[in-house]
Structures are given as structure tokens and as C-alpha cells.
């Protein structure tokens, strides 16, 4: 009977937390919310995260930095009640700086304590009203690497090079560009040997150029044991409409790299979860100088895609961010074409895959030729372009178009900064190669391969360099197919071509 009472009180606590989270979220100032990166973990995800821990020692010391109202500590405490050995104790340390959330957190900690103590287990909860990034160096400095467990959904916010947070993280040996990676890095630093960390964080650190020092920091100190991926971009935090794609990581401080469990679910309910194990070398390729953390797709591999092995350099091609930054050359932009001006192409000049230029739009259509603007222009020719930004509703991130010089009889072209441009040493490509490259980039196989290492809505030139491509002959064959096709190039038609077993 005692147990069922505890279960009932725990169930009530779960409901209370959902209600408190909604109430707390509604009381937060939206600007402040964005400044502090306050997106709260839904209960189903918090429970899933807590269930990933594997070690339940006699004395557990938990770290929950950026605790909000304490949802993660509460999910952890539930798991502790279920799995810790008889007589075990839990010492929970939470860090939070928002006064509204702190009030909820304090109330919440005493609710968390009751069922644990009722069950005959020990509990000590600490609410530290402190900036975790400022506090962490002192915790570590005192030789206090004593946390056995850390559970975190840290704030997401870029940190400026000159900010106090950047200096503080740097002092701890951590060179990083976002608060979430600073929190995760500092949590790793503070863990006891063998300590486990479960964190929900944006995927952007897995391949971002600026995150390379952070990836090295993480991989030198901890082993990745589990990565959970949400298939849809907004599902993890539906009620907060967070755009970044999130992953859940389980790390073990000081452990050797070993097999990594990958799990996938479509949404926050985690009902359709599938998982599999892959060797660590599939996640971080041993010869990858930039140490990307790659997340192989959940779907079975498409036959043949594994044979696309060529780098752009091997194909003799380069991809660059569109070199024209319009506000820097504002004095030279023109609303309408002129004979002595270059077309200035934006993503909105492509409709249903076709160039429509000029168009009536608030953005300019052309760029006057001056010594300054000429430096950013490319000579007339065939180019393959991709958009750098997609909206969260769009199914695809890779969207490619071809510029055909027959449509633009000007000697020089301007490509605006929201596009990526494939070129051959700053000149155009052959028509077949340009069209074939667009076919490949628009295929489902390329999209899947791309998503293995990119989790955000942006498509950066660096990501396109990391992608692997078919060889020149195959690309040219795709190009001939596209040129010869009298029907629209539908997704099905492209996929049937690209996924056809090679040699047929
Ligand atoms: C993404 S929210 C997550 C809250 C909670 N962990 C959860 O999962 O629901 C991050 C929290 O970190 C807090 N925060 C932001 N900057 C902080 C800092 N420097 N030190 C401590 N907490 C901070 C925010 O107020 C916010 O409550």
C-alpha cells in the first residue's frame, strides 16, 4: 500500500510539473526567454533521458546546470527511485539564474524529495542561484570532479568573442561559440572518472566549423555511447517552436571509444523509437581532420549510395558561398537590369527550379560594374547553385538549380550570399556536369547522405565539401539524362535514376 501511495504521488508530481512548466513559460518575458535560451524539456523526453543512465552507485551526485523548474532532476529522481540500490543517496545540484524559474525550482525540489525519503532512500537537493559558467571553474578548481551523473538541457545562445562567458569558458580550456557547448564542456570537466552525462543539445556542434575545438575537447575527455535523433526538426520542443534540430547524447567521462547506440524517433512521444549499434569509426571517421560527428541515417541504406565516394576536389570542382553580400555593395545595386551591369541572382530568382530574372522584388536585380564589384563576379557560364537556407516546413534542405548562360547573355554574374555556387576554379562548368550535379544534389540519396552530418536548416559550403559525389562520368550521364528529358524532373524520376544499381 505504501508503494502505491508513492506511485500515485509521483504520478501527480508528473502532472504538476507539466502544469508548472506551462505556467512558468507563460510568465517569462519572451525577450528574456530568448536571451537565456529557455526551452523546457517535455516530460516524455526528460523520462527517456533519465532512463539512459546505466550506473546506480550507492552515492549519486547529480549536476543539472540551467535547471529551469527542475524537470530533468525530477525525471532523474524518479529513475533513481526505481533503480538505485537499497539505502542509496542522491545529492542533486541544480544551477539556475532566472528569478521566476528559481522560485518554481525551489518549490519543486521539496516535492522531489518527499517520495524518495518516503521510500527509505536519501536525498539532498541544492538550488544554486548562480551563473553556471562563472561558477564551474571554481567547482573544478577545488579538485571537485565529483559528479557521478549530469543531466542537462542547457541554454542555446551564441556567445560573442569578447563576452564574459567566452572568457570564462576559455579559462577552463574550452574554446566555444555557444552557451550550450560551454555548458556541456564544463559539465564534462566536472565529472568524476566514469561519470555519465545525458544531454539534449542542438546538432549544430556535430559538423559546424566553429565547433571543431569543442568536438576535440569532448572526444578527448569522454566517449559517446548513445545518440538519439528526432527525425523532424521541431518535434522535440513543439510547444516552444525551437528551430534547431536536437539530439540526445549519452557520454561517459574518461571511457575509451566503443560501439555507439543510435536511436531514432519521429517525435517527442518517442513511441516509434528504433535503434541500432554502429562502430565508433562510423560516427567519427578516423581520417577526418575536422572530426565531424556523423549520425548515420536510421533508414536502411539505399543500394548504391555507398559507392558515391568522390570529393569535390577529386572532381576538379569548388563550392563557395555566393560572393556578393548585398548590403556591403548597396551603393552599386540596381533595381533593374542595365547593359553595363551584371545580373545579381538571389534564391528567389528560381521558381520551380527555373530561373526567372529579372523579377519585381524589394531586392535588386543587378549590380553595377565597378572595380570593387567586379572582384565578386564570376564569368558567364553554367553554374550549379544551392540555397543556403531552407524553412523548417520544407522537406528538403538540398535544393539545387542550374544557371544556363543562354538565359543570361551577360559577361559577368553576381551570386548573392544566400546561395552556394559550384564552380571550376572561378569559371563555369560543362553543361552536363552542371546539370548532373543538380540532379544528384536534388536526389533523395544526396539529401539522406547530407543529413548524416548536418542537423540544421542551413546548407553551408563546408557541408557541401564534406558530401561525397558520384564520379564525373556518372554526373555527366545524369546531366545528359536531364537535358534529354522532355518530362519534368520529378523527385521519383530523379531517385529512380540515382538509385539505379550502377552499370545499368
Ligand atoms: C533550455 S532551458 C532548460 C531548462 C531545464 N533544464 C529543462 O530541461 O526544462 C536552459 C535554462 O538555463 C538557464 N540559464 C541560462 N543561462 C544560465 C547560466 N549562465 N547559468 C545558469 N542557468 C542559466 C535558463 O534560465 C533556462 O532555465
pLDDT tens-digit readout, 254-283: 999 999 988 877 777 776 677 788 899 999
Distance between CA atoms of residues 422 and 427, nearest Å: 9
Q: Write down the pLDDT at residue 38.
A: 64
Cell triple for 95: 544551477
Q: How remote is the CA of residue 180 from the centroid of ligand 1, in Å?
A: 10
Report the DSSP beta bridge partners of residue 389: 458
User: In the chain, what are the domains?
Assistant: 2-283 (3.40.50.150), 318-498 (3.90.220)
For the chain, the C-alpha Rg in angstroms (whole number) is: 26
**pLDDT one-digit tens code per residue, 63-103:** 999 999 999 999 999 999 989 999 999 999 999 999 999 99
160: confidence class by pLDDT, cuts 50, 70, 90: confident
Average pLDDT over the chain, rounded to an integer: 85
Q: Write down the pLDDT at residue 118.
A: 93
CA dihedral 245, 69, 125, 73 (to 10 degrees): -30
Number of other CB atoms surrounding residue 485 within 10 Å: 15
Q: Write down the pLDDT at residue 12.
A: 44
**pLDDT one-digit tens code per residue, 214-258:** 999 999 999 999 999 876 544 445 443 343 478 999 999 999 999
Is residue 111 within 6 Å of ligand 1 at its C-beta? no
Q: How remote is the CA of residue 33 from the centroid of ligand 1, in Å?
A: 10
Is residue 36 within 6 Å of ligand 1 at its C-beta? yes
Q: Write down the pLDDT at residue 209.
A: 86
Mutating to test ligand 1, I would choose from 32, 34, 37 the residue with most ligand atoms within 8 A of its C-beta, which is 37
Q: How remote is the CA of residue 257 from the centroid of ligand 1, in Å?
A: 29
Give the residue with greater pLDDT, 485 vs 303. 485
Report the DSSP beta bridge partners of residue 228: 248, 263
Average pLDDT of the residues in 309-322: 91
Mutating to test ligand 1, I would choose from 41, 42, 63, 66 the residue with most ligand atoms within 8 A of its C-beta, which is 66
Is residue 63 within 6 Å of ligand 1 at its C-beta? no
Q: How remote is the CA of residue 128 from the centroid of ligand 1, in Å?
A: 12
Is residue 72 within 6 Å of ligand 1 at its C-beta? yes
Distance between CA atoms of residues 463 and 137, nearest Å: 34
**Own/partner long-range contacts of 331-338 (Cβ < 8 Å, ≥24 apart):** 332/367, 332/368, 332/370, 332/372, 332/373, 333/364, 333/366, 333/367, 333/368, 334/364, 334/365, 334/366, 334/367, 334/368, 335/364, 335/365, 335/366, 336/365, 336/366, 337/365, 337/366, 338/366, 338/368
In ligand 1, the atom with minimum distance to the C-alpha of 46 is 8
Distance between CA atoms of residues 457 and 78, nearest Å: 35
Q: Write down the pLDDT at residue 264.
A: 79
pLDDT of 56 above 80: yes
Three-state secondary-structure class, residue 5: helix
Give the residue with greater pLDDT, 303 vs 276. 276
Is residue 133 within 6 Å of ligand 1 at its C-beta? yes
Quote the pTM value.
0.66
Give the residue with greater pLDDT, 279 vs 487. 279
Question: How much of the chain exceeds pLDDT 90, in percent?
Answer: 58
**pLDDT one-digit tens code per residue, 18-31:** 677 677 767 766 66
Give the residue with greater pLDDT, 272 vs 469. 469
Distance between CA atoms of residues 64 and 61, nearest Å: 10
Are the beta carbons of 13 and 21 closer than 8 angstroms? no
Alpha helices for 28-131 (secondary structure H): 30-36, 43-51, 71-83, 99-118
pLDDT of 446 above 80: yes
Closest to 376 in 3D by CA, of 335, 343, 424, 334: 343
Alpha helices for 144-279 (secondary structure H): 164-171, 179-190, 212-221
Amino acid at each position: 500500500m505504501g508503494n502505491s501511495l508513492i506511485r500515485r504521488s509521483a504520478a501527480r508530481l508528473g502532472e504538476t510539473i507539466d502544469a508548472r512548466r506551462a505556467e512558468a513559460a507563460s510568465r517569462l518575458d519572451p525577450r528574456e526567454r530568448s536571451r537565456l535560451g529557455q526551452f523546457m524539456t517535455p516530460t516524455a523526453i526528460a523520462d527517456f533521458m533519465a532512463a539512459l543512465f546505466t550506473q546506480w552507485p550507492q552515492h549519486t551526485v547529480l549536476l543539472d546546470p540551467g535547471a529551469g523548474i527542475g524537470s530533468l532532476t525530477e525525471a532523474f529522481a524518479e529513475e533513481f527511485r526505481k533503480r538505485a540500490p537499497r539505502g542509496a543517496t542522491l545529492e542533486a545540484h541544480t544551477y539556475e539564474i532566472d528569478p521566476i524559474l528559481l522560485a518554481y525550482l525551489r518549490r519543486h525540489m521539496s516535492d522531489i524529495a518527499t517520495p524518495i525519503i518516503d521510500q527509505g532512500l536519501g536525498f539532498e537537493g541544492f538550488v544554486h542561484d548562480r551563473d553556471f559558467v562563472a561558477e564551474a571553474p571554481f567547482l573544478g578548481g577545488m579538485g571537485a570532479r565529483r559528479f557521478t551523473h549530469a543531466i542537462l538541457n542547457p541554454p542555446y545562445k551564441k556567445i560573442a568573442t569578447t563576452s564574459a562567458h567566452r572568457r570564462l569558458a576559455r579559462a577552463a580550456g574550452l574554446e566555444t561559440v555557444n552557451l550550450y557547448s560551454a555548458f556541456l564542456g564544463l559539465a564534462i570537466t566536472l565529472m568524476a572518472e566514469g561519470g555519465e552525462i545525458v544531454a539534449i543539445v542542438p546538432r549544430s556542434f556535430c559538423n559546424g566549423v566553429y565547433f571543431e575545438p569543442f568536438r576535440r575537447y569532448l572526444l578527448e575527455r569522454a566517449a559517446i555511447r548513445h545518440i538519439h535523433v528526432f527525425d523532424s526538426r521541431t518535434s522535440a520542443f513543439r510547444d516552444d517552436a525551437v528551430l534547431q534540430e536536437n539530439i540526445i547524447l549519452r557520454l561517459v567521462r574518461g571511457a575509451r571509444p566503443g560501439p555507439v547506440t543510435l536511436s531514432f524517433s519521429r517525435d517527442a512521444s518517442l513511441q516509434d523509437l528504433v535503434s541500432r549499434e554502429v562502430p565508433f569509426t562510423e560516427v567519427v571517421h578516423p581520417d577526418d581532420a575536422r572530426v565531424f560527428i556523423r549520425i548515420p541515417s536510421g533508414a536502411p541504406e539505399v543500394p548504391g549510395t555507398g559507392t558515391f565516394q568522390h570529393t569535390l576536389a577529386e572532381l576538379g570542382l569548388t563550392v563557395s558561398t555566393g560572393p556578393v553580400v548585398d548590403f556591403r555593395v548597396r551603393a552599386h545595386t540596381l533595381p533593374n537590369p542595365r547593359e553595363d551591369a551584371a545580373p545579381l541572382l538571389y534564391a528567389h530568382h528560381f521558381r520551380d527550379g527555373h530561373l526567372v530574372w529579372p523579377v519585381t522584388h524589394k531586392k535588386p536585380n543587378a549590380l553595377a560594374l565597378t572595380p570593387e564589384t567586379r572582384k565578386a563576379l564570376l564569368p558567364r557560364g553554367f553554374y550549379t547553385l544551392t540555397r543556403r537556407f531552407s524553412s523548417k516546413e520544407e522537406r528538403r534542405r538540398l535544393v539545387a538549380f542550374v544557371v544556363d548562360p543562354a538565359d543570361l547573355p551577360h559577361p559577368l554574374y553576381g551570386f548573392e550570399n544566400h546561395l552556394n555556387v559550384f564552380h571550376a576554379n572561378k569559371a563555369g562548368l560543362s553543361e552536363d556536369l552542371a546539370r548532373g550535379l543538380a540532379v544528384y544534389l536534388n536526389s533523395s540519396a544526396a539529401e539522406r547522405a547530407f543529413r548524416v552530418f548536418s542537423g540544421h536548416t542551413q546548407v553551408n559550403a563546408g557541408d557541401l565539401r564534406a558530401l561525397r559525389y558520384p564520379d564525373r562520368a556518372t554526373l555527366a550521364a545524369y546531366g545528359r539524362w536531364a537535358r534529354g528529358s522532355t518530362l519534368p524532373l520529378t523527385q521519383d524520376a530523379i531517385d529512380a535514376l540515382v538509385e539505379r544499381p550502377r552499370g545499368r
